[in-house]
Amino acid sequence: MPEISILSESLANKIAAGEVIERPASVVRELIDNSIDAGAKLITVEVLHGGKKLMRVSDDGVGMSREDATLCFERHATSKISSEDDLFNINTLGFRGEALAAIASISKVSLTTSTSDSDRGTRVDIGVGRKKQTTDAPPLQGTSVEIRDIFYNTPARRKFLKTISTELSHIIATVTQKALAYPEISFHLKHNKTGIINAPAARDIRERFIQLYSEDMINEFFEVNRQMPGLSIHGFSSSPDFTRAARGYQFIFINRRPVKNPTVSHAVYSAYDNLIPKDRYPAYFLFLDIDPHKVDVNVHPAKREVRFESQDEIHNMVAIAVKQGLHPQQEQSGTAGQITSMRAEHTGKAGLSAGGVRETLESALGYENRSFPVSGDLQADFFTDRGPAIHRYFYIGEAFVAQVTNDGLVIIDRHAAHERVLYERLLKKTGLEIENLFLPLRVELPAKEFNVLTNHKDLVNEFGLDIDDFGANNVVVRALPREFHKADIKGLLLDIASGILDEQTSGIKGRSEKQKLVQNIAARLACHKSVRGREHLNDEELSRLIADLDKAEVPDRCPHGRPTRVSLSLADLRKMFKRK
């Protein structure tokens, strides 16, 4: 008896569903794609309990005849392609004819549709065991598909669904991506009958961006625009001052299809070289329009990846377009590692005279009244121009400060040191002064982040941020730690939400999940408010920072693992100068 057998159609469909349908958001994505391909101008998505109980996607597209409505649930039934050549000239979002068959194999489905010239509609119900029933229905403009009890017949997969909040966040992200790609279409999303996204048809991508992310946020971005034969790019990328703690705000659309693509991502990052810290990430929303013959979209089961005919051409195009938008100001700098004294900063001087360099080094090294031993008996007073030397520290470039000690020299990364101090304060809940705001601050957030933060208010409050739901994707901030009074509160809240979303998808459960989440958020908050390169501190502020760092449990590393300080002892210096 042969060991190899042909799988049943039911089992084959469930296997296919495992590739196409990962969670409720996958269903929403496939149904929206069908609505867009049907020419819809209005798409409404309604979900209950994060999509676990019900998802309904309705549109005003062309609709289907009774024959097509019955046939569309068969595997590999599609109106998008008809020949092998069509695979290399795809102009629609759907084309395989797998989605509806896969969805019907793991849920209970009802489809209602009619064409504009029909005096009656068609309703198709598919229940347990894929039993199909077709009946008449009142005519309507377009199609409505209702999905109930996803994974009801595959309990092993159903138990891997996340919380309602997490699944809803994925649905919000899916609708947001589609709304960005098609600004001319109206999108509406409701959860448990409450409006989440309300995006009427927009004139262009800029107006749609404002609908989804607010006008304040668009001001943090510059436009990207470049064209060449068969290839164009447009969209937005963030200024170097508006960076994120994670890659959450990075969107790439190829012919309006949201994808992940390392070639495009690398090109964007190359444009930001030396402009942003290594632990921060740019935000970008980039739309590439490419000749369909030069891109293969049939390389991933969920169509999340594409393959380019000419990767180098795409990379160069994107990198140049983003660089042109950035217009970085080239700062004239002297010799690498030039030492700038704090006195020069306070007096407004751009650089130091020879005497100023002498004073700075003399003060820093503690040799104001000492002579230097040179070979043999020769002694030389190196510094004859004796000005006042009152500073215990001196800057090396913009990021580092050197401190003279009895044993040598300590070089401190101010940002990393401040991160460590704030991080431990946030974790221990000590040394934080929580202040109520005289005028509460209203902050408008994207729908996904609003949903996450309002569902985790208690966690946010643990860090001294008192927030409340203000409705319409707005939160009101009533109190926050003194350290964050001059911070970008909206950016701070977005980073917290991003941290929560990262941990929700990590698969970790229980106490370890909560501990890791708290550490993740504390690290993001500490990074958000830590001093940056151009923020110079005076001697008193530096003394306080170094004293706080000395009291930290892990003083030599920032929360991300980078060194906060490096020591050079006199023995090290003697060895470096071959005096030992």
Question: Are residues 381 and 470 located together in one domain of the fold?
Answer: no
Query: Does any domain span residue 404?
Result: no
Average pLDDT over residues 442-456: 90
The pLDDT score that the predictor gives to residue 531 is: 55
Q: For residues 489 and 25, what is the distance between their CA atoms, to the nearest angstrom? A: 30
Compute the average pLDDT of residues 543-560: 85
Indicate the pLDDT class of residue 371, thresholds 50, 70 and 90. Answer: very low
Which one is predicted more confidently, 69 or 408? Answer: 69
CATH number at residue 123: 3.30.565.10
Q: What is the CA radius of gyration of the chain?
A: 30
User: Do 201 and 71 lie in a common domain?
Assistant: yes
Angstrom distance (rounded) from CA 255 to CA 92: 9
pLDDT at position 300 over 70: no
Number of domains within the chain = 4
Residue 75 has pLDDT above 70, yes or no: yes
Alpha helices per DSSP H over 438-566: 447-454, 457-461, 489-504, 511-529, 539-551
Give the pLDDT confidence score for residue 86 in this predicted structure: 61
| Residue 403 placed within a domain | no
Kindly state the percentage of the chain with pLDDT values over 70: 80
Answer whether residue 349 shows pLDDT above 90.
no
**Confidence at residue 411, expressed as pLDDT on a 0 to 100 scale:** 87
Beta bridge partners of 566: 411
Q: Which residue has the higher pLDDT, 37 or 578?
A: 37
User: Based on the domain organization, do 271 and 190 belong to the same domain?
Assistant: no
pLDDT exceeds cutoff 50 at 387: no
Residue closest to 314 by CA, chosen among 281, 248, 268? 268
- 133's enclosing H/E stretch is strand 132-137
Residue 538 forms part of a structural domain = yes
pLDDT at position 287:
96
Whether the per-residue pLDDT at 81 is higher than 70: the answer is no
Q: Please give the single-letter amino acid code of residue 512.
A: S
Residue 362 has pLDDT above 50, yes or no: no
The last residue of one of the domains, among 182, 206, 230, is: 206
CATH number of the CATH domain containing 429: 3.30.1370.100
Asked whether residue 40 is assigned to any structural domain, the reply reads yes
Cα end-to-end span (Å), the chain: 83
pLDDT above 90 covers a percentage of the chain that reads 34
Q: Quick one: pLDDT at residue 1? A: 62
pLDDT at 491: 85
Could you tell me if residue 451 is inside a domain? Answer: yes
pLDDT digits (tens, 9 = 90+) for 318-348: 999 999 998 745 333 333 333 333 333 333 4
Q: Are residues 284 and 196 in the same domain?
A: no
Judge whether 401 lies within some domain.
no
Task: Indicate if 352 and 320 belong to the same structural domain.
Answer: no
More confident call, 481 vs 300: 481
Neighbour tally for 288: CB within 10 Å: 25
3-state secondary structure of 129: helix
Average pLDDT over residues 532-544: 71
The predicted pLDDT at position 123 comes to: 95
Q: Confidence band (pLDDT; 50, 70, 90) for 532?
A: low
Which residue, chain included where needed, has tokens 């006195």? 343
* Residues sharing a CB contact under 8 Å with residue 15, sequence separation 6 or more, in sequence order: 7
**Residues 202, 263 within the same domain:** no
Mean predicted lDDT score pLDDT of the chain: 81
Task: Please say which residue of 326, 359, 379 terminates a domain.
Answer: 326
- 58 pLDDT above the threshold of 90: yes
Place of tokens 């509806």: 100
Residue 252 resides in a domain = yes
- Distance between CA 413 and CA 542 in Å, rounded? 11
**Displacement of CA 519 from its chain's centroid (Å):** 18
pLDDT at 471: 83
3-class SS shares of the chain: helix, strand, coil, % to 5: 40, 25, 40
d(CA 260, CA 249): 12
End of a domain among 396, 418, 434? 396
Residue 104 has pLDDT above 50, yes or no: yes
One domain for residues 416 and 377: no
Residue 470 reports pLDDT greater than 90: no
Per-residue pLDDT, averaged over 63-67, amounts to 92
Question: pLDDT-based confidence at 164, cuts 50/70/90?
Answer: very high
Q: Are residues 373 and 516 in the same domain?
A: no
Residues 224 and 141 in one domain: no
Identify the bridge partners of residue 327 per DSSP, sorted by sequence position: none
The pLDDT of 528-541, averaged and rounded, is 66
Strand 284-290 with 250-254, pairing: parallel
Assess whether 60 and 172 both reside in one domain: yes
Q: For position 27, what pLDDT does the model report?
A: 95
Please name the helix (run of DSSP H) or strand (run of DSSP E) that holds residue 365, with its range, or none: helix 354-365
Instruction: Write down the pLDDT at residue 146.
Output: 97
Higher-confidence residue of 515 and 22: namely: 22
Per-residue tokens: 196 = 């989440």
**Cα→Cα distances 485→1, 15, 326, 437, 478, Å:** 76, 53, 29, 9, 12
Between residues 171 and 101, which one has the greater pLDDT?
Answer: 171
Tell me the pairing of strands 339-340 and 284-290. unpaired
15 band by pLDDT with thresholds 50, 70 and 90: low
Other CB atoms closer than 10 Å to residue 234's CB: what's the count? 17
Domain encompassing residue 352: 339-396
195 lies in the same domain as 280: no
Query: 561 Cβ partners below 8 Å, 6+ apart?
Result: none
Supply the pLDDT for residue 487: 77
The DSSP result for 366-414, as a single string, is T-TT--EE-STT-EE----S------SEEEETTTEEEEEETTEEEEEEH
pLDDT value at residue 17 = 63
Residues 316 and 459 in one domain: no
Alpha-carbon distance of 318 to 231, in angstroms, equals 10
Long-range contacts of 452-461, Cβ-Cβ distance < 8 Å, separation of 24 or more: 452/165, 452/169, 452/497, 452/500, 452/501, 453/493, 453/496, 453/497, 453/500, 455/165, 456/500, 459/500, 459/517, 459/518, 459/521, 460/496
The pLDDT score that the predictor gives to residue 221 is: 94
pLDDT of residue 425: 86
Q: Which carries the bigger pLDDT value, residue 394 or residue 349?
A: 394
The H-or-E segment that residue 235 falls in is: strand 231-238
> CA of 16: how far to CAs of 13, 105, 129, 305, in Å?
5, 9, 16, 18
At 296, which CATH number? Answer: 3.30.230.10
